[in-house]
Amino acid sequence: MKDSIFWKKAFIPVYFIVAMLVLILFRFYIKTDNFSVYLMIIFLMCFGTASIIYNC
């Protein structure tokens, strides 16, 4: 897990960009209010935050 690409500093913005794009896609384009979609977005945001903490 130490040498994983998911924990590299260059990969950190990817989590937040993907979370934002998924939110825009499901909220405005598909127009769903399904809670499981928001859980996926929250999971991505938490994963990005954990990556920031790990790399500091």
pLDDT digits (tens, 9 = 90+) for 2-56: 677 767 777 788 888 888 998 888 888 888 777 888 888 899 889 888 888 888 7
Answer whether 55's CB lies under 8 Å from 12's CB.
yes
User: Residue 27 corresponds to which tokens in the numbers above?
Assistant: 């909220």
**What is the residue range of 30's domain?**
5-55
Q: Which residues of 33-55 are buried (b: 16+ CB within 10 A; e: fewer)?
A: eeeebeeebeebbebbeebeeee
Check residue 1 and give its pLDDT. 59
Residue 15: exposed, middle, or buried by beta-carbon count in 10 A (0-12, 13-18, 19+)? buried
Tally of structural domains, the chain: 1
Q: What pTM value is reported for the model?
A: 0.71
Question: What gap in Å lies between CA 32 and CA 27, rounded to an integer?
Answer: 6
